[in-house]
């Protein structure tokens, strides 16, 4: 007998029929003698609808109130799921995040989980209940409702698995595992049986939304056995996120291609080339709560240089506003911005032992006439910023170049 946390994403609970199917699946696991905690998302499209309502009232809704409304989507699915389980003859009880005391910090709309009280859940499990806990939400120390950022139910599930020392955390979604790239873009993408935490962290942080990055961080930190599976298939082992690198002789060099459509680039032209310039530009950007991704400072000439960086597209106009003020202070010539970029990345632990991956990647892009605007590398990834109109082409070409469409 094991303790298993099962998370069901928006499409998996997207209709009452699907909710009934989830209850049937849970009943099968329960019949095998396992203890089950279920963590659903809101029905697909519901969180967007709720945020949309808020935006009809205010262009920039108060974050505390936004959390109050955004968290209600999951409150609907926990109750429906518990009822569907009762119909299957199961004992089941639903709780919102604040009710089971998912304690978070107070950063509304992207709060971090600090602790979870396991008392009530343990007692319910001991009494034979399936415990259904709303994903995506918690409350801060003052009882204010918080949410964990988009896709945050993954993190709720893993955090619950960590708090209760569950044997496994299963993420049920609309694909049957983690693929070499998003199968919606490249139909030839292949499902991976395993992927290392390191690679999954990079893939998630570089845009693969199959798992929220914080759920992967949590799972790595607390050694949670994490698996991604399909909620529409009864068979299949999905993808296991592993700690150990696969000990295969022929380790693939690249495991996956990730992409992010939300990139925007800003360039400060003609900056006086002197110490402290990066700080003078990026200090005010950080103060405005804008996350910076890639940064490039060109080699100076004539005593001036150009300085470029990327931000999330939603922060583009805010960042332009900040730079306008900074421009006068540092005596820069011009600010230019472009919010029609995207980032494409190749990820793989095998890169460590194989030089030449970068040049292979750049050649493949050049052969398609795709201009690279920015590059950044780490030990296990190479990312390029390109024009968004080439996104799908670049992903397909790189997927092929690194042989990801063929059996490993
Ligand atoms: P859920 O609502 O279940 O949380 P998400 O939409 O958040 O589901 O995540 C699943 C989706 O992630 C898939 O439908 C797929 O399009 C996308 N995705 C992106 N990259 C990958 C990848 N490498 N492997 C599998 N799915 C991916
Ligand atoms: N319902 C939330 C969202 O749409 C959380 C989740 O689905 O994981 O972002
Ligand atoms: Mg998701």
State phi, psi for 356 to the nearest 5 degrees: 95, -5
Summarised one tens digit per residue, pLDDT across range 16-49 is 999 999 999 999 999 999 999 999 999 999 999 9
Element (H, E) at 311: strand 304-312
Cβ of residue 10 lying under 6 Å from some atom of ligand 2: yes
- Exposure pattern of 77-90 as b/e (b: 16+ CB <10 Å)? bbebbbbbbeebeb
The bound ligand whose nearest atom lies closest to the alpha carbon of 10 is: 1
Ligand that lies nearest to the alpha carbon of residue 151, given by its number in the listed order: 2
Least confident range of 83-97, 116-130, 224-238, 241-255:
241-255
Which residue intervals of 164-301 are DSSP H helices? 197-205, 213-221, 277-287
CA of 353 relative to ligand 1 center, distance in Å: 29
Gap between the Cα atoms of 55 and 70, Å rounded: 12
Between 137 and 234, the more confident residue is: 137
Measured CA to CA in angstroms, residue 359 lies from 95, 305, 371 at distances of: 52, 27, 14
Tell me which fold the domain 3-174 belongs to: Carbamate kinase (3.40.1160)
Sheet with 113-116, strands from edge to edge, namely 113-116, 102-104, 137-139, 145-147
Q: What are phi and psi of 66, to 5 degrees?
A: -60, -40
150-154, 174-178, 250-254: which has the minimum mean pLDDT? 250-254
Long-range contacts of 361-365 (CB under 8 A, 24+ apart): 361/398, 361/401, 364/397, 364/398, 364/401, 365/394, 365/397, 365/398
Ligand 1: does its nearest atom lie under 6 Å from the Cβ of 9? yes
pLDDT digits (tens, 9 = 90+) for 301-331: 788 889 999 999 989 999 999 999 999 888 8
> Measuring CA to CA, how many Å separate 247 from each of 171, 244, 384?
25, 8, 29
Q: What are phi and psi of 291, to 5 degrees?
A: -80, 130
Residue 236 CA to residue 245 CA, distance in Å, equals: 22
In whole angstroms, give the CA distance from residue 372 to residue 355.
20
Handedness of CA 156, 158, 159, 163 (dihedral sign): positive
| Residues 173/231, Cβ–Cβ less than 8 Å | yes
Q: Say which DSSP state 98 is in.
A: G
Location of structure tokens 């639903």 = 94
Q: What are the residues facing 5 on neighbouring strands?
A: 37, 169
Q: Which two tokens stand for residue 50?
A: 């709720």
Q: Where do the structural domains in the chain lie, given as residue ranges? A: 3-174, 257-401
Residue with CA nearest ligand 2 atom 5: 151
Identify the three-state secondary structure at position 170.
Answer: strand
Give CA–CA dist 186/195, Å, rounded.
Answer: 19
The number of C-alpha atoms within 13 Å of 275 and in the hemisphere containing its C-beta is: 0
Q: Give the CATH superfamily of 257-401.
A: VC0802-like (3.30.2130.10)
Q: β-pairing, 374-378 with 304-312?
A: unpaired
Return the residue whose CA atom lies nearest to atom 8 of ligand 2. 151
Å from CA of 353 to ligand 2 middle: 38
User: Could you tell me the distance, in angstroms and rounded to a whole number, from the CA of residue 92 to the centre of ligand 2?
Assistant: 22
339-358: average pLDDT: 90
Tally of CB atoms within 10 A around 255: 28
As a whole number, mean pLDDT of residues 285-293 equals 91
Q: Is the pLDDT of residue 245 over 80?
A: no
Coil, strand or helix at 41: coil
Residue 150: predicted pLDDT: 94
């Amino acid at each position: 007998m094991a303790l298993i946390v099962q998370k069901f994403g928006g499409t998996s609970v997207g209709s009452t029929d699907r909710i009934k199917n989830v209850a049937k699946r849970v009943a099968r696991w329960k019949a095998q003698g396992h203890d089950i905690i279920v963590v659903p998302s809101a029905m697909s499209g519901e969180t967007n609808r709720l945020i949309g309502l808020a935006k009809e009232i205010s262009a920039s809704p108060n974050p505390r109130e936004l959390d109050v409304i955004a968290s209600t989507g999951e409150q609907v699915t926990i109750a429906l799921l518990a009822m569907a389980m009762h119909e299957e003859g199961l004992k089941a009880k639903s709780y919102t995040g604040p009710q089971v005391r998912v304690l978070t910090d107070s950063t509304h709309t992207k709060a971090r989980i600090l602790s979870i009280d396991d008392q009530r859940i343990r007692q319910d499990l001991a009494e034979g209940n399936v415990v259904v806990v709303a994903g995506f939400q918690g409350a801060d120390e003052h009882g204010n409702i918080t949410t964990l950022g988009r896709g945050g139910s993954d993190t709720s599930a893993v955090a619950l698995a960590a708090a209760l020392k569950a044997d496994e955390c299963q993420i049920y979604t609309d694909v049957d595992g983690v693929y070499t790239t998003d199968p919606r873009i490249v139909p030839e993408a292949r499902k991976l049986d395993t992927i290392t935490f390191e690679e999954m962290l990079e893939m998630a942080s570089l845009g693969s939304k199959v798992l929220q990055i914080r759920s992967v961080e949590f799972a790595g930190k607390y050694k949670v056995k994490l698996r991604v599976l399909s909620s529409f298939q009864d068979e299949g082992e999905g993808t296991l996120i592993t700690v150990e690198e696969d000990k295969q002789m022929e380790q693939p060099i690249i495991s996956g291609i990730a992409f992010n459509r939300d990139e925007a680039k800003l360039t400060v032209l003609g900056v006086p080339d002197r110490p402290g310039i990066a700080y003078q530009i990026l200090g005010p950007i950080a103060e405005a709560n804008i996350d910076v991704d890639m940064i490039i400072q060109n080699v100076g000439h004539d005593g001036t240089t150009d300085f470029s960086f990327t931000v999330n597209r939603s922060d583009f106009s805010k960042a332009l506003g900040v730079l306008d003020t900074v421009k006068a202070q540092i005596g820069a010539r011009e600010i230019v911005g472009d919010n029609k970029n995207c980032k494409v990345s190749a990820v793989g632990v095998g890169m460590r032992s194989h030089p030449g991956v970068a040049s292979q990647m750049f050649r493949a892009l050049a052969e398609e006439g795709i201009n690279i605007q920015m590059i950044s590398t780490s030990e296990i990834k190479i990312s390029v910023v390109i024009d968004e109109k080439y996104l799908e082409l670049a992903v397909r070409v790189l997927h092929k170049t690194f042989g990801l469409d063929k059996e490993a």
